[in-house]
C-alpha cells in the first residue's frame, strides 16, 4: 500500500495555517477561500493545534459564542496527532478512525510538510483497489 509521501506528491503539500490569537471568523474565511475543512494553528512554524469546521459548530455555534470575538486558541483541538511521510495509508486510516478526527498534519524533521484528510485516504484506497481489480482482470483474461 502507498505511503503519505505518495499522497502529498499527487495532491500537493500546501499547508494552510492561522495564528492562535486570530478570530475564529478569520479561520472560517480562510477555510472557505481555500475550500478546506480545517486549518493548522501555528506560531513561528510550530504546530499548536488544528481548528476545523466541526470545532466551530460545536464550540462556537452550539455554545452561543461569536466567531468575531472568539480567538482560535479557545476552540482549537490541541496537540494534534501527526504522521511522517513514510507512514502507510492504512496506518493513517486507523489513526483517524480510532481518534475520531479527519485531518493529519504531516511532519518531517520537526517541520510541517503537508496535511492529509480522511477524504485523501479514502480516495487513495479506492484508487489502489481499482488498480488491483484491473490487474486481476488482465490476469484472468490472459
Please give the pLDDT value at position 63.
80
Nearest C-alpha neighbor of 39 from the set 122, 119, 121, 115: 115
Helix (H) or strand (E) holding 103: strand 103-108
What CA–CA distance (Å, rounded) separates 91 from 23?
A: 34
Please give the pLDDT value at position 85.
97
Percent of the chain at pLDDT > 90 equals 71
What CA–CA distance (Å, rounded) separates 111 from 139?
A: 43
Instruction: For the domain covering 4-141, report its CATH number.
Output: 3.10.580.10
Q: What is the pLDDT of residues 101-140, one digit of tens each?
A: 999 999 999 899 999 999 999 999 998 888 888 898 888 9
**pLDDT surpasses 80 at 54:** yes
Q: What is the pLDDT of residues 64-80, one digit of tens each?
A: 888 888 999 999 999 89
Query: Could you give the count of Cα atoms lying within 13 Å of 127 in the half-sphere of its Cβ?
Result: 12
DSSP, collapsed to helix, strand or coil, labels residue 35 as coil
Over residues 25-29, mean pLDDT: 96
Amino acid at each position: 500500500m502507498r505511503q503519505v509521501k505518495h499522497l502529498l506528491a499527487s495532491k500537493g503539500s500546501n499547508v494552510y495555517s492561522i495564528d492562535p490569537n486570530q478570530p475564529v471568523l478569520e479561520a472560517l474565511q480562510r477555510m472557505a477561500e481555500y475550500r478546506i475543512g480545517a486549518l493548522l494553528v501555528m506560531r513561528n512554524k510550530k504546530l499548536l493545534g488544528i481548528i476545523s469546521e466541526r470545532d466551530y459548530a460545536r464550540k462556537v455555534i452550539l455554545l452561543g459564542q461569536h466567531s468575531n470575538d472568539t480567538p482560535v486558541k479557545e476552540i482549537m483541538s490541541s496537540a494534534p496527532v501527526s504522521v511522517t511521510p513514510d507512514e502507510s495509508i492504512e496506518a493513517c486510516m486507523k489513526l483517524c478512525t480510532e481518534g475520531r478526527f479527519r485531518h493529519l498534519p504531516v511532519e518531517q524533521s520537526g517541520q510541517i510538510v503537508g496535511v492529509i484528510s480522511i477524504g485523501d485516504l479514502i480516495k487513495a484506497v479506492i484508487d489502489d483497489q481499482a488498480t488491483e481489480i484491473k490487474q486481476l482482470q488482465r490476469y484472468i483474461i490472459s
